[in-house]
């Protein structure tokens, strides 16, 4: 796999692009699933392991704004509950296992954990704008592709991303 091959995966997504349209998100998930089936994807990413820990931007669409990022995490790394503001995100696992939880917001900042599940090699999870979730690497390491509908740094700069500091218990 190389950069030119990565770019080709996104031609179909550009054809169906409409930032918040459900069909666009389905097309994005389809692109991610096709990428995960590539035998050479894991090798391509592990050859960049030094940069993978910091995150590698594999694709940025200047016209439509979506971004594909690859990154790795190590066992036990926990990301507190958060959302992605007005952006949607698709997490896809290339290698390893990550546990993801979803939350319901009660009032301004109180959360109830609705569910948690493990996302394994070859699987993807979609989170829509405002969806609150957390992540934790449960294998020795994990390699993740993250496709976002927009630049999350800009969402954070504009104050639309919400981060929650308190761990929450599972709803009973």
Range of the domain at 34: 3-157
Q: Which two tokens stand for residue 83?
A: 């959302």
> Is residue 164 assigned to a domain?
no
45 contact partners, CB below 8 Å, separation of at least 6: 52, 56, 70, 94, 143
pLDDT digits (tens, 9 = 90+) for 35-69: 999 989 999 998 887 899 999 999 999 988 999 99
pLDDT digits (tens, 9 = 90+) for 77-126: 999 999 999 999 999 999 999 999 999 988 777 888 899 999 999 999 99
> Is residue 82 assigned to a domain?
yes
What pLDDT does residue 169 have?
56
User: pLDDT category, 25, cuts 50, 70, 90?
Assistant: confident
Q: What is the CATH number of the domain that holds 7?
A: 2.60.120.10
Task: Give this prediction's pTM.
Answer: 0.90
What pLDDT does residue 68 have?
95
> Is residue 169 assigned to a domain?
no
Rounded CA-CA distance 38/8 in Å is 13
Rounded CA-CA distance 46/95 in Å is 10
pLDDT at 172 exceeding the cut of 50: no
């Amino acid at each position: 796999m190389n950069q030119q091959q990565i770019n080709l995966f996104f031609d179909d997504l550009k054809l169906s692009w409409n930032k918040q349209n459900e069909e666009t998100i389905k097309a994005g998930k389809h692109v991610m699933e096709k990428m995960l089936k590539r035998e050479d994807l894991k090798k391509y990413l592990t050859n960049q392991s030094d940069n993978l820990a910091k995150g590698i931007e594999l694709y940025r669409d200047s016209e439509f704004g979506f971004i594909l990022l690859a990154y790795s995490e190590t066992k036990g790394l926990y990301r507190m509950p958060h959302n992605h503001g007005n952006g949607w995100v698709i997490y896809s696992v290339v290698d390893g296992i990550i546990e993801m939880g979803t939350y319901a917001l009660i009032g301004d900042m109180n959360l109830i954990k609705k569910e948690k599940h493990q996302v394994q090699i070859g699987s993807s999870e979609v989170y829509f704008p405002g969806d609150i979730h957390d992540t934790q690497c449960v294998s020795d390491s994990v390699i993740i592709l993250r496709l976002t509908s927009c630049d999350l740094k800009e969402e954070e700069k504009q104050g639309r991303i919400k981060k929650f500091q308190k761990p929450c218990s599972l709803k009973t």
